[in-house]
A and B are shown apart, each in its own frame.
Chain A
Amino acid sequence: MSLRRFFKRRLSDAEVGLEMENHLTLECDENLARGMSEEEARRQAYLKFGSPQRVREDLWRRNSIAPLENILRDVRYACRTLRRSPGYAFMAILTLGLGIGANAAIFVVINGVLLRPLPYAEPGQIVHVEQTAARVGTDPIGFSVPEVEEYRQLNHVFSDLAEYHSMTFTLLGAKVPERVSTGVVSANFFDVLGVKPVLGRLITPADESPKAEPVLVLSYAYWVKNFGRDPKILGRMFEMNDRVHTVVGVLPPLPEYPDANDVYMPTTSCPFRSNPKMIADRDMRMVTVFARMKPGVTATQAQSDLATITNRLALSYPKSYPAGAGVMAQMTGLEQELTHAARPTFLTLLGAAVLVLLLACANLANLAISRQLRRSQETAIRMATGASSWDIFRQLLTESMVVALAGGVLGLGIAAVGSKLLIAYAARMTPLSGEIHLDGRVFLFVAALSVIAGVMFGALPGFVASRDRLSVLTGSGERSVGSGGVTRARQALVAVQVTLSFVLLMCAGLMLQSLHKLLSVDPGFKTANVLSMRISLDWTKYAKRTELNQFFHQVLSRVTGLPGVESAAVSVMVPLNSNMGTMTGGVQLEGRALNPGELMPQVDFELASPDYFRVLGVPILAGRAFTDGDTEHSPAVAIVNARMAKHYWPTEDPIGRHVSTDNGKTWITVVGVASSVHQYGLDKDLKEGIYLPQDQSPSLTDAHLLVRTRVDPMHTANQIADVIHQIDPHQPVTEIRTLDQLRSAQLGTPRVTATLLGLFAALALFITVVGVSGTLALAVAHRTKEIGIRIALGAPKGEILHNVLVRGMIPVIAGIAAGAIVAMFSTRLLASMLFAIRPDDPLTFGSIAILLAMVALIGCAIPARSAIRVDPIKALRTE
């Protein structure tokens, strides 16, 4: 029998009815024509026809599918039952919808970021190779061009090794001159990644020869944004760095990795990279390396091969690899690199969401059991009239399935909205956030989750119901109280709920404290009313030192003259901008000889114009700040931070001391000590640092302008950009942000994580209290008679209260104990996300336990109050 007919039974039945009625009328008419009376004509027609009802039934059965029919009947019955208690249905669907929605929203992110394969060929074989100097700093130091060549030749484990770095260049030939992020890559870069173009071709070895015509490959996003997917873009010429570049291809849509580049060019087109000094100097480390492992090579083999090469290089060139620096090459799998920041956060959140859902299921199971106990008479009658235990079980399970699937639909809606909100959050942790959207896998996940949830909270009440015995009908005492087993099951459910909430509250509590600690970190400068903007200069135009200084002097003097501006400065970096690497380097201190192999003191460098400290509000603790007198032609000066002063001159005055950044060729006089600041991030430790005047430093082509304003900083942004455009109309101004924005951006990720976890925990606490108080309320209601007798016999109210509260709190205390043990193990997973707090912080454990106990006690108080108000006369009469 076809499904189509099954679902059209009603229509088909109506048709048959009409058909038969027609038949009977015709027959009747004929009989009338034969001269019968009307009554007789009808009677005869029916006699001849037989029973139309039987025919209809016969056909109905023919069109039926028995199991499907049973399910549909159960579903209809379940819907009717639920419609009769809309309060329960609403609560249940909402609770499950929230639980499933939270899981689904986070799963959408995990699906996009962690489960979808990367858009590269064999991504498991691609690795990012980094060179680090472990004893100098944690940041990678990059590779120099000769090193890349050596690693390419000497290794046995990679099928290919590609070179990459990113720079900003001015592109002429579009509507307006534009600053484009440019990936400078070796010819094999796209082969190593395993990427095919959507248009034209990618870079080939022929493009990388010194005499080749310069070519460009556009990123997909840049092609779409600036050229509206114009296929005629191939062959278009653009001028960059005084050379004509031809567009040869367009990349497919890829994650913004390693950087969000607009265009790509071969290494030979980059003026820095093709500089002969750059090619020859082993110590000019500025490029990044990607490699593809040969099939079958393991990460361990590759790592040890890298170590062998490093050792060999260290023996051949001891000056470039001082023993004290601990230089080594390390590799990270591409997949690991793209997802490592997001993985712990989203797995934690998924874990929390699963706990919330479990909690919701436990609560609903409890609710469903009490519903079932109220309906036990109905169940008993059904069983007495022939329903099997399985029929009852199935009916109850169907009911919870209907609720769960309705919750699933609601959850899908919540996920659709929720995952959109999570994209920006995920983008801070992974370049793969563009991959986040609903797909078939998400639907499957939600469907599976709904079914599991339905079974979880439907099975127990179904089991309880199917064991209902006919004794219920005789009105014996067990009625609607439930057996001891049921009571124990309900108490266990309460304990489970308390356990789960404990774990969730613990996670949320730790994250909130961590956030609070991060919020109270003093960055060492005043972030209010400071605007920052990035000015990436065209290096060919400002190649000469004087032109560069002149440009900055003009900018600073004109910007300072603007109304509402208090002071302005230029520097290399904006503080708290964790996206940029650190500028760490060695300095030589006067009068302090280095032992052979010993490393020079490593400090953070920053270039600053005279007003820098005033703009940021960094106090000068001793000596002086930079002045306009510290020029190219005046004696070289430097300011050290307090940490450096204390570390290297603990007992002496650092003012007047000399340091050198060029191995003792020239000496710089320390003229001041500035207070230390958290330059790279609030969660990073304070480090030794040194400031050099911008005018006296090596050329600063990628600068930031910092402006302290008297008014809202964003209001002056346009005026400042106008001033810069008056001085150089082609100079782009980008990344306009206030320091407050940068600070909140730094706190954004922990803040959202803490908020989400807090939300989950609050939900958990709420559900738990409802569960605890609901269970106890039911128990009290069922014990009304018993309590009535006790009161009648003269039991003091205090004793009754005590009795009820103890019964209510026993599962809570058990849950808290279990929760503490579970949390002990599970919060360790949070360790990497916490700042300045241990995952087993005893204070947090204690406060959460007390909080839970208090809240549960309040939840118990309401039913306990009604217990002592029981009127013994009424209680005894109603039974």
Chain B
Amino acid sequence: MVQGTLDMLVLKALVMGPAHGHTIARVIEQTSEDVLQVEQGSLYPALHRLEDRGWLQAYWGTSENNRKAKFYRLTAAGKKHLTLETNRWRQMVRAIGLVMGE
């Protein structure tokens, strides 16, 4: 996976609403039609990092299988950062596309 994109993907996965780690991994895999195979463990340091930066907020809730689970939610700063990252990503994709002659 391209360096630094995991953060963006995690943020994007949370746009639809709060979710716990497993759901986030599932969302990324499924929406990418199983192309992006995250090593699921590396998700957690990323979540930790994003929380530290104030882009995510964590809280404890109950998961679908009725267990205590940690849920993550986008903060206002997180949304702002996501927009920024998305724009940058689009520019990058366009630039690479141009170079590749597409």
Which A residues contact B (CB, under 8 angstroms)?
Answer: 5, 15-16, 18-20, 22-23, 25-27, 29, 48-52, 54-55, 58-59, 62
Would you call A59 and B44 a contact (CB within 8 A)? yes
Determine the chain B residues whose CB is within 8 A of the CB of A55 once the complex forms.
41-42, 44-45
Which B residues contact A (CB, under 8 angstroms)?
Answer: 20-22, 25, 39-42, 44-45, 48-49, 52, 63-65, 67-70
Determine the chain B residues whose CB is within 8 A of the CB of A54 once the complex forms.
41
Would you call A50 and B65 a contact (CB within 8 A)? no
Would you call A26 and B41 a contact (CB within 8 A)? no
Would you call A19 and B69 a contact (CB within 8 A)? yes
Would you call B45 and A58 a contact (CB within 8 A)? yes
Q: Name the residue of chain A whose CB is nearest to the CB of B64.
A: A26
Cα A135 to Cα B44 with chains together (Å):
93
Cα A55 to Cα B39 with chains together (Å):
11
Would you call A62 and B39 a contact (CB within 8 A)? no
Would you call A22 and B20 a contact (CB within 8 A)? yes
Would you call B68 and A20 a contact (CB within 8 A)? no
Determine the chain B residues whose CB is within 8 A of the CB of A48 once the complex forms.
39-40
Shortest distance from the beta carbon of A128 to any chain B beta carbon, whole Å: 65
Would you call A50 and B45 a contact (CB within 8 A)? no
Query: 8 A-B contacts, Cβ less than 8 Å apart?
Result: A16-B44, A23-B21, A27-B40, A48-B39, A49-B41, A55-B42, A58-B45, A59-B44
Determine the chain A residues whose CB is within 8 A of the CB of B49 once the complex forms.
62
Number of CB contacts from chain A to chain B under 8 A = 59
Determine the chain B residues whose CB is within 8 A of the CB of A5 once the complex forms.
52
Cα A59 to Cα B67 with chains together (Å):
23
Cα A49 to Cα B65 with chains together (Å):
19
Among A18, A29, A52, point to the contact of B41 (Cβ < 8 A). Answer: A52
Shortest distance from the beta carbon of B52 to any chain A beta carbon, whole Å: 8
Determine the chain B residues whose CB is within 8 A of the CB of A23 once the complex forms.
20-22, 25, 40
Q: A22-B69, A29-B65, A51-B41 are in contact. List 12 more A-B contacts (CB 8 A).
A: A5-B52, A16-B44, A18-B68, A18-B70, A19-B69, A20-B44, A22-B20, A22-B22, A23-B21, A27-B22, A49-B41, A52-B41
Cα A52 to Cα B20 with chains together (Å):
16
Shortest distance from the beta carbon of B30 to any chain A beta carbon, whole Å: 12
Cα A781 to Cα B38 with chains together (Å):
68
Q: Name the residue of chain B whose CB is nearest to the CB of A20.
A: B44
5 closest A-B pairs by CB: A50-B41, A26-B22, A49-B40, A55-B41, A23-B22
Cα A27 to Cα B26 with chains together (Å):
10
Residue of B25, B39, B40, B68 most packed against chain A (CB within 10 A): B40
Cα A660 to Cα B21 with chains together (Å):
111
Cα A463 to Cα B22 with chains together (Å):
55
Would you call B65 and A26 a contact (CB within 8 A)? yes
Q: Name the residue of chain A whose CB is nearest to the CB of B42.
A: A50
Q: Name the residue of chain A whose CB is nearest to the CB of B44.
A: A55
Q: Name the residue of chain B whose CB is nearest to the CB of A27.
A: B22
Shortest distance from the beta carbon of B22 to any chain A beta carbon, whole Å: 4
Q: Name the residue of chain A whose CB is nearest to the CB of B38.
A: A48
Would you call B67 and A19 a contact (CB within 8 A)? no
Assuming the A-B contacts A19-B69, A22-B63, A22-B67, are A50 and B39 also in contact, with contact meaning beta carbons closer than 8 angstroms in the complex? yes
Cα A23 to Cα B45 with chains together (Å):
14
Cα A23 to Cα B20 with chains together (Å):
9
Shortest distance from the beta carbon of B29 to any chain A beta carbon, whole Å: 10
Cα A22 to Cα B52 with chains together (Å):
22
Determine the chain A residues whose CB is within 8 A of the CB of B52 once the complex forms.
5
Cα A51 to Cα B40 with chains together (Å):
10
Shortest distance from the beta carbon of A574 to any chain B beta carbon, whole Å: 78
Determine the chain A residues whose CB is within 8 A of the CB of B22 once the complex forms.
22-23, 26-27
Would you call A25 and B44 a contact (CB within 8 A)? no
Would you call A59 and B41 a contact (CB within 8 A)? no
Determine the chain B residues whose CB is within 8 A of the CB of A52 once the complex forms.
41
Determine the chain B residues whose CB is within 8 A of the CB of A51 once the complex forms.
41
Cα A52 to Cα B21 with chains together (Å):
13
Shortest distance from the beta carbon of A57 to any chain B beta carbon, whole Å: 10
Q: Name the residue of chain B whose CB is nearest to the CB of A21.
A: B67
